[in-house]
Structure 1
Amino acid sequence: MSIFLTVNTLIEKAITAGLIGKEDEVYARNRILALLKLETYKAEKTDSSDGSEIPDLLETMTAYAVDHAIIEDLFDEKEMFSARVMDVLVARPSDINSRFAGHYKEEPRQATDYFYKLSQDSNYIQTKRISQNISYQVDSDYGELDITINLSKPEKDPKQIALEKTMPKKDQTYPQCLLCVENEGYEGRIGHPARANHRMIRLNLAGEPWMLQYSPYVYYNEHCIVLSETHRPMEINRAGFERLLHFVHQFPHYFAGSNADLPIVGGSILSHDHYQGGHYEFAMERAEIEYTFSMNRHPEVEAGIVKWPMSVVRLNSGSMGELLSAAEEVLTSWKEYSDPEAEVLALTGDTPHNTITPIARMRDGKYEMDLVLRNNRTDEKHPMGIFHPHEDVHHIKKENIGLIEVMGLAVLPARLKGELREVESALLGESHDVADYHLPWVKELQDRYQDVTSDNVSAIVKEELGKKFSRVLEDAGVFKRDVRGQQAFKRFVEGF
């Protein structure tokens, strides 16, 4: 396909997707020709049977730009060029917000459907790369858990890694972080992702300006990020609970949750106040209440302990205000709570250890909030965290257990794709190159499975990987699932 045909096809796809109108065709073509350093144009008829999609066409254009020395053959340079091209085809934030508001007046889901599709069509959501992820569900004692091996984020090439190491250190404070509103339309630079085609929806949450965007690498359906207009650290408090409830009130088909606000149990970005949400039902949402209790000061609130590997208090009420006050009481009590028998200490000196991972949703017309109790204490035996995946499961998952994992979706490293194939080979008695840290697991599986065939080996490994993830969550649970642990959990909730 010639470069002119590539340009024409991209513009045709953009018109079909509704990114631009037919009246924008000439303008868009000229702006893209300018980016390609082309001063002339040759009309070529597009082929409707051609299967190329927008990401494919962008790859072709980017390769042309590299071949003709328009950009360097570096990952970030190519990302910036691709985003620059799509920026020509995406409306300005004011137009998008106006359209979103128009759809919202009709129905909230219609508004998010519009913005989600736009974020995909604009290639901000990396649909082609996301399709490479390995995803499936496995049965567990807690319902069907989601397993994802994340292959969507491409590795930086060695040339760029070497360049970044030799680049002089600059005081790069704009944007302050990857979640700041200033990323909207930002060109990008070496070491900071391209955001020229990035757009945000303006929200009002409990009287504060917040932003709605989608994750470029969605881990589940309509995986969105809700971020404060102000760059400030994350903090779990009453105001945060209130914003979560306001969000699900405005978008009742979405859930919204926050990572915890302490190291080890928190998310990857604690410097910017933000939440994650989306249109997806996680296993934790489907989990049942296994013990109910009363909150004496909040008779309008139903409360219970959820059957889940981590320690979850679920609150439900038709009154947002009552639920908010009840959630605040749980948080205040938990932050000060110690139970040495359960290895729970609220403080070491002046250092706090207890916090909460909250998740809000609407259920049958009522407000619901899951409060996942977290503790980030360490000791000599568990230097990465007492309530963190223990060392014997680090070969599968040793990173922080954040909001997404808490709810039952394992986001596992790309290395496992090849490593699990080697595990399968070992179970089949074939030649293999199993990583040393998987060898104890392989030996355990060999002892337990006597009839492994090429037909069932993949299913066996998937099932056992799910069991490992279930163990990961049990390790992160503050009150363990045994009798002693559940008695300790009941001691805590009986205080309400």
Structure 2
Amino acid sequence: MIYQHIGGLLQKGIDTKLIEKADQIYVRNQVLALLKLESFPEINTHKTDDTIPNLLEKIITYAVENNVIENVFDDKEILSANIMNCFVARPSVINSTFQKKYELSPEDATDYFYELSKNSNYIQMNRIQKNIHFKSETIYGEMDITINMSKPEKDPEQIKRELELKSDINYPKCLLCIENEGYEGRTAYPARANHRIVEIPLGNESWYLQYSPYVYYNEHSIVLCGEHRNMKIRKESFERLLSFIEKFPHYFIGSNADLPIVGGSILSHDHYQAGRYEFPMTRAKNAFSFQLEKFSNITASVLDWPLSTIRLQSTDIETLVDAADYVLTVWKGYSDEDAAILAFSGDTPHNTITPIARMRDGLFELDLVLRNNRTTDKHPLGIFHPHEDVHHIKKENIGLIEVMGLAVLPARLKDELEEIKKDLLGQPSEVASYHNDWVDQIKMNYGERSSIEEIDAIIEKELGNKFARVLKDAGVFNEKNDYERFIDRLNE
């Protein structure tokens, strides 16, 4: 069967335009070498017809069963990536193709690169399909809810290896460095042999576009700096975000904040996230408009959104950058004891911004989400962080994706919610104790329900409400008066 699986993979490589027919003997021989096979049957008419990820899984199963590799997570990941690397062109070819397609249309360029990243199995579509997705209506509009099931579980031998690992290897410096392109991987460091990036100059610097291996939304991409340096939100950040939108107006782009607690998971490498998706935040209406007096040709408003957000619009990038930089500068030094906001504790800064850029109706648009990472004894994880009473649903940091209205909830919830549903149906169940108050509240609000369809709808709605509360906890302003005091400071 292994030869049929290899034949099927070669055919899929041709069908998806990863390779041409003229490449198949070369690619086949490369794959044979990786599997320690010395020949290929001359008569082999049948080819396994399946998807690329499924064919890879079959081939990896063969490799384990025939002692080509050990049955260990990293060994399987490395071989899988190495096999697909035989099908993927060199970076120079991919960059050249991307640029030629860009000259015809930015959408053609990103379509090409996204399909390549999926077909090469760099984007892990089989694992992503395990995620649970639904939409939930809240007082702020429809929210996107995802229970993240795509992270693969590590086998005991993999865990043992990592515990025994004593390594001082510092290459690549992090998961976002350009040196990851084509890197084979090692124990406790992901395989990237089939990984490719394309250069997207922003300003006078080298920046690069890649797609996330575990996309949370359509064309979920990462725009990363060629230099390994810490994230920093500053004037140049706004310039880069809007420059990217000018190049790719069909995408949005945003940045995590640059401080712990309110920032993303990787603050050690300057990067942004982009994609072709309309988030709930994009559809948020204005709570009220206001005049930014120093920038009379900028349209400014406060969003009706759980996180405290100022939206700026203009046809002129330079003016918009200056206005955003002004808001950032004022906010970084802004304190308001009535709103529990302190800009500094000693020399430690607390205020920063999560910025998001897009094109809308011919206007450049920037959403500036005001963030503060101060902690207290009452809120040791952060004053403007999900509070303890919602930790049973979401305890992790609120990063860019959540800010825009897409909840990424932990995998544990899949089984926990099934137990809650059993309890609501009056069946024997084992509800985690930290969900008890929530379950009691659901019973009080909805009474008895006997239909699983009704229970499913209730749980989805209540998860949306919980997520809206999670976001509200991360908002720095609760009242219109809080906004108005800050706007007054902006207009001094």
- TM-score, normalized by the shorter chain, greater than 0.5: yes
Q: Deviations over 1:333-366 (max 9, x none)?
A: 0000000000000001111000000000011111
Q: Determine which of 212, 219, 222 is the counterpart of 1:222.
A: 219
1:257 alignment partner AA: G
Residue of structure 2 in register with 1:56 after alignment: 54
Q: Deviations over 1:190-217 (max 9, x none)?
A: 1000000000010110111001000000
Residue 263 (1) aligns with residue 257 (2): no
2:78 alignment partner AA: M
Residue of structure 1 in register with 2:485 after alignment: 491
Q: Determine which of 324, 331, 344 is the counterpart of 1:327.
A: 324
Residues 9-28 of structure 1 aligned to structure 2 (within 5 Å): 9-28=8-27
Q: Determine which of 308, 311, 318 is the counterpart of 2:308.
A: 311
2:25 alignment partner AA: V
**Mean alpha-carbon deviation: is it higher for 440-449 or for 93-102?**
440-449
Residue of structure 2 in register with 1:185 after alignment: 182
Residue of structure 1 in register with 2:466 after alignment: 468
- Aligned residue pair count: 488
Q: Determine which of 363, 366, 370 is the counterpart of 2:367.
A: 370
Say whether the 8 Å CA contact 1:241–1:327 is kept in structure 2: yes
Residue of structure 2 in register with 1:293 after alignment: 290
Residue of structure 2 in register with 1:207 after alignment: 204
Residue of structure 1 in register with 2:39 after alignment: 40
Structure 1: gaps (5+ residues): none
Residues 423-438 of structure 1 aligned to structure 2 (within 5 Å): 423-438=420-435
1:5 alignment partner AA: Q
Q: CA separation in 1, counterparts of 2:448 and 2:168?
A: 60
Q: CA separation in 2, counterparts of 1:7 and 1:357?
A: 46
TM-score normalised per structure 2: 0.98
Q: Deviations over 1:22-79 (max 9, x none)?
A: 10011011110111111111131135xx651100111111111111111111101100
Residue of structure 1 in register with 2:150 after alignment: 152
Q: CA separation in 2, counterparts of 1:476 and 1:182?
A: 35
Q: CA separation in 2, counterparts of 1:491 and 1:319?
A: 28
RMSD: 0.8
Regions of 4+ moved over 6 Å: none
Q: CA separation in 2, counterparts of 1:444 and 1:294?
A: 43
Say whether the 8 Å CA contact 1:354–1:374 is kept in structure 2: yes
Say whether the 8 Å CA contact 2:311–2:366 is kept in structure 1: yes
Q: CA separation in 1, counterparts of 2:457 and 2:281?
A: 23
Q: Deviations over 1:355-394 (max 9, x none)?
A: 0000000111111000000000010111000000000000
Residue 477 (1) aligns with residue 471 (2): no
Q: CA separation in 2, counterparts of 1:493 and 1:141?
A: 25
Give the SS at the match of 1:73: coil
Give the SS at the match of 1:361: strand
Q: CA separation in 2, counterparts of 1:427 and 1:182?
A: 51
Q: Determine which of 103, 123, 126 is the counterpart of 1:125.
A: 123
Residues 57-72 of structure 1 aligned to structure 2 (within 5 Å): 57-72=55-70
Say whether the 8 Å CA contact 2:8–2:49 is kept in structure 1: no
Query: What displacement does 1:444 show?
Result: 1.1
Say whether the 8 Å CA contact 1:260–1:356 is kept in structure 2: yes
Percent identity between matched residues is 57
**Mean alpha-carbon deviation: is it higher for 211-220 or for 153-162?**
153-162
2:39 alignment partner AA: T
Q: Determine which of 436, 439, 464 is the counterpart of 2:436.
A: 439
Say whether the 8 Å CA contact 1:300–1:319 is kept in structure 2: no
Q: CA separation in 1, counterparts of 2:438 and 2:143?
A: 20
Residue of structure 2 in register with 1:6 after alignment: 5
Residue of structure 1 in register with 2:243 after alignment: 246
Q: CA separation in 2, counterparts of 1:439 and 1:159?
A: 36
Give the SS at the match of 2:453: coil
Residue of structure 1 in register with 2:111 after alignment: 113
Q: CA separation in 1, counterparts of 2:176 and 2:105?
A: 28
Say whether the 8 Å CA contact 1:387–1:475 is kept in structure 2: yes
Q: Determine which of 73, 79, 82 is the counterpart of 2:80.
A: 82
TM-score normalised per structure 1: 0.97
